[in-house]
Amino acid sequence: MKLTVAGNLKEFADGLTVAKLIELEQVETPEYITVSVNDEFIASDSFESHVLADGDAVEFLYFMGGGR
């Protein structure tokens, strides 16, 4: 299946979960990311069970603190 990951079109096997995609993409500090699929946020406790579908657009979002 084809997914758009962080703006890049990539090919993956069917049945891929968000958790497995995080692993395959070697996301740094995965415990601190938020994931959106087709502009909808996925709860971190659903990463293991949320199966991605052909054509999905996935973004890994890192929230940074700071400022004044």
Residue 29 DSSP one-character state: S
Alpha-carbon distance 34 to 53, whole Å? 19
pLDDT of residue 67: 64
pLDDT of residue 68: 67
Domains and CATH numbers, the chain: 2-61 (3.10.20.30)
pLDDT of residue 6: 95
Residue 36, strand partner residues: 41, 59
Structure-block tokens of residue 64? 């940074």
- Element holding 55 (H helix, E strand): none
pLDDT tens digits, one per residue of 4-60: 999 999 999 999 999 999 999 999 888 899 999 999 999 999 999 999 999 999 999
| Whether the model pTM is above 0.85 | yes
How many angstroms separate the first and last alpha carbons of the chain? 44
